[in-house]
C-alpha cells in the first residue's frame, strides 16, 4: 500500500471506483463519466480526473482522449499473459516465504483465511477482497515488498475473472494446505500446492471464458464499443 495520503476527495473517489472495477460492479467497456461521478461525490471535476488518471496508470481504466474514460477491456491474450505472470511472481514469492515466514505472519494469514471461510452470507465482493489480501500476505512474507506489491496489483486486475473460481470449498482447502506447508517451512511443498491452485484457476478461467465469450473480442459483460 502506498504511503497514506490525507488527500480526502481524490482518494475516496479512487478507492470506490477501483473497488467497483475489481469486484466487477463496473463492467469492462463501461463508461466512467466525469460529470456523473462529480455529481455522485459532490465534488468538482479535478479530483475525479485525478482518480481516473491514477486508475488508468494501473491499467484498470482506459482513456480515450477528448472522448471518455472506460473500464479497461481485457483481451483473451492479455488475460492469459496476466495469469502466467501471476504464476511467475507468486511461485517466486512462496518459495521465499516458506523459508523466512515468521510465526506472527502465519497468525495473520490464518486470521484472514478464517475471515472469509466463515461468513458465507457475505457478498462475493468481500470474498474477492479477502482473497487478494491472502495472496498479498503470502507474497509479503517473502520479505520482498516490491514483489509483494506487484502481486497485489496484478491480483487487482485479475480479480474480476477470479469470481469464476469461487467454488466454495476448493479455495478454502487449498489455502489451508498452503498454510500447512508454510508452517512446515517447506518451500517445495508450498510451491507445489500454490502451483496446483493457480493452474486449476487458470484453466477454469480460460475454459469458461472461451466458452462464454467465444464470439466477442473482449472480455467482460459490457461489450461496449
- Nearest approach, Cβ of residue 33 and its own copies (Å): 18
What residues numbered 130-159 form the site for its own copies, per CB under 8 A?
144-147, 150
C-alpha gyration radius of the chain: 18
* The entry of DNA, its own copies, none that residue 54 binds, CB within 5 to 8 Å by partner kind: its own copies
Residue 127 to residue 118: CA distance in whole angstroms = 11
Q: For 76-113, b where at least 16 C-beta lie within 10 A, e where not — what string?
A: eeebeebbeebeebbbbbbebbbeebeeebbebbeebb
Is 65 a binding residue for its own copies by CB under 8 A? The answer is yes
Is 17 a binding residue for its own copies by CB under 8 A? The answer is no
Is 188 a binding residue for its own copies by CB under 8 A? The answer is no
> Number of residues in contact with DNA, rule: CB under 7 A?
24
∠20-8-149 over CA atoms, to 5°? 55
- Nearest approach, Cβ of residue 189 and its own copies (Å): 20
Is 47 a binding residue for DNA by CB under 7 A? The answer is yes
Binding mask 26-45 for DNA (x = CB under 7 A): -----xxxxx-------xxx
DSSP, collapsed to helix, strand or coil, labels residue 167 as: coil
Residue 171 to residue 187: CA distance in whole angstroms = 20
Residue 67 to residue 28: CA distance in whole angstroms = 17
Residues that bind its own copies (CB under 8 A): 3, 5-7, 49-50, 53-54, 56-58, 62-63, 65, 77-78, 81-82, 84-85, 88-89, 92, 144-147, 150
Binding footprint of DNA on the chain (CB under 7 A)? 6-10, 31-35, 43-47, 49-50, 63-69
Amino acid at each position: 500500500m502506498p504511503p497514506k495520503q490525507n488527500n480526502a476527495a481524490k482518494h475516496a473517489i479512487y478507492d470506490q471506483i477501483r473497488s467497483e472495477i475489481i469486484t466487477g460492479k463496473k463492467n469492462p467497456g463501461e463508461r466512467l463519466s466525469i460529470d456523473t461521478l462529480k455529481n455522485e461525490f459532490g465534488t468538482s471535476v479535478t479530483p475525479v480526473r485525478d482518480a481516473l488518471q491514477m486508475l488508468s496508470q494501473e491499467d484498470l481504466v482506459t482513456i480515450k482522449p477528448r472522448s471518455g474514460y472506460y473500464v479497461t477491456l481485457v483481451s483473451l491474450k492479455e488475460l492469459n499473459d496476466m495469469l502466467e505472470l501471476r504464476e511467475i511472481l507468486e511461485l517466486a514469492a512462496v518459495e521465499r516465504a516458506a523459508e523466512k515466514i515468521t510465526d506472527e505472519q502465519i497468525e495473520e494469514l490464518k486470521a484472514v483465511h478464517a475471515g472469509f471461510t466463515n461468513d458465507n452470507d457475505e457478498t462475493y465482493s468481500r470474498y474477492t477482497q479477502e482473497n487478494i489480501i491472502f495472496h498479498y500476505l503470502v507474497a509479503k512474507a517473502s520479505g520482498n515488498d516490491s514483489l509483494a506489491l506487484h502481486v497485489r496489483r496484478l491480483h487487482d486486475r485479475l480479480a474480476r475473472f477470479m469470481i469464476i473460481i469461487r467454488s466454495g470449498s476448493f479455495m478454502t482447502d487449498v489455502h489451508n494446505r498452503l498454510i500447512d506447508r508454510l508452517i512446515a517451512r517447506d518451500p517445495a511443498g508450498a510451491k507445489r500446492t500454490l502451483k496446483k491452485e493457480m493452474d486449476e484457476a487458470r484453466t477454469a478461467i480460460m475454459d469458461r471464458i472461451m466458452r462464454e465469450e467465444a464470439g466477442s473480442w473482449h472480455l467482460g459483460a459490457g461489450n461496449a464499443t
